[in-house]
Amino acid sequence: MPAWPRYLYSAALYVLSPLIGWRIWREQVPTYSRLQRLGLEREPRPEGPSIWLHCASVGEVRAAKPLIEALLSAYPQHCLLVTTMTATGAQQVQALTHLSPNLRHRFLPLDFPGSAKRFVRHWQPALAIMFETELWPNLLHVCAAERIPVAVVNGRLSARAFARYRRSPRLMAQALENVTWLAAKSDGDAERFQTLGVPASRTQVVGSLKFEITAPDKVWEESERLRKAVFRPAGKRPIWVAGSTRDGEESHVLAAHRALRKTFPEALLILVPRHPQRFDDVAHTCEQAGFAVARRSLKQPVMKDTAVYLGDTLGELGMLYAAGDVAFVGGSLVPLGGHNVVESASLGRFTLCGPSLENFDDVAAPLIEAGALSSVANAEALGEALVDAFSDPAATAQKGAQGQRVVAEERGALARTMKGLARFL
């Protein structure tokens, strides 16, 4: 296949490099060198074989956690290098480093030819694993040139992403030619990847790794402490959680909370914005809306008049979901495709979401069918759904239990994925 599509792509990256550089400057953790973005490494490569797993951001790292644990357990002689694009993703990986001294994190280098080549040649992984939809043409090309097998796991292509990739058919066909094995999460995803250029012979539908999520004991212990000692020290109050909310969504969530408090005046909202750089702005938004706010990061107490508990910390979303009675998953009342609805369902919480859920439609379908997940059209409908949920707590708890059952029944993708990866290790 001719190389010119990749050359044109690389030229476009160089033209856009000032904008890309600004993004890198923003997405940074102080303890990391920005030179990693250019494939420059200050530390020597660890001795022995390595496996490289790339996850774009915090959501992908959370979804990949069972896979990370399985790889560390199955291949203890390997260094597991996890790369991310974002600072929040980096912090999420840092929170997992207690799992093994063999777990390392780096920022993914920019997909310039030189950066990609330096990174891959330094680490020389025995296997490169791309999580979901991370398809970087130059990185994939260098892996193929270095004879490093590439696996795409939990392979996902939403209709929106598929339409975007189809605008560059030759570039994508050239990039996907370098994929050794595609572990798609659904038949629809497999078909879209094949349309772009992955041969059917290299494709296997294994199911979604998002169903593999399990909460450790400490999540239940801390959530129960919060429920009894912090949120409900003097009786029962309705508690709902709005997790992974995005810019422009908090106003809808607060409007729904205001409607809920007309029927249940003591109702408490646990609000967890998706991005930490927005924590202060969201706190200000809540206060401007007239709600008394307690911030978790500041260890502020929850008083009787506290209406919003702001979960402005990292790595605690699952615990905060468990501390509530009903969950709303953000990124869905704004047209962003939604976020992972399995996490709250796995914790036995009846879950609500907005109409934009195309990024998770396959995992949402069995939950909706079981009545464990319900979609609402807008803030008014969200408020009405919350009132209904808290008006019949027994039925709401039963819906949450149904969600746990569905998640348990849908598990199995991890074992199939590990079996497929074993061929290359």
Enzyme catalytic residues = 60
Is 213:367 a contact under the CB 8 Å cutoff?
no
DSSP conformation letters of 375-391 = E-SSHHHHHHHHHHHHH
Tell me whether strands 308-310 and 268-273 are parallel, antiparallel or unpaired. Answer: parallel
Could you tell me the strand order of the sheet in which 103-107 lies?
A: 103-107, 79-84, 50-54, 127-131, 150-155, 181-184, 203-205
Candidates 155, 159, 151, 146; CA nearest to 185 is 155
Residues 6+ apart with CB under 8 A from 362: 185, 186, 188, 189, 208
Candidates 153, 201, 209; CA nearest to 177 is 201
DSSP conformation letters of 20-81 = HHHHHHHS--TTS-GGGGGT--SSPPPSS-EEEEE--SHHHHHHHHHHHHHHHHH-TTSEEE
Record the tokens describing residue 58, joined without a space.
């915090």
Q: How far apart are the first and last CA of the chain?
A: 28
Exposed, middle or buried: residue 416 (CB in 10 Å: 0-12, 13-18, 19+)? Answer: middle
Rounded Cα–Cα distance for residues 55 and 78 (Å): 18
Length of the chain: 425
Partners of 121 in the β-ladder? none
Partners of 243 in the β-ladder? 272, 329
Is 127:51 a contact under the CB 8 Å cutoff?
yes
Rounded Cα–Cα distance for residues 366 and 403 (Å): 9
Rounded Cα–Cα distance for residues 219 and 317 (Å): 10
Q: What is the largest CA-CA distance in the chain?
A: 71
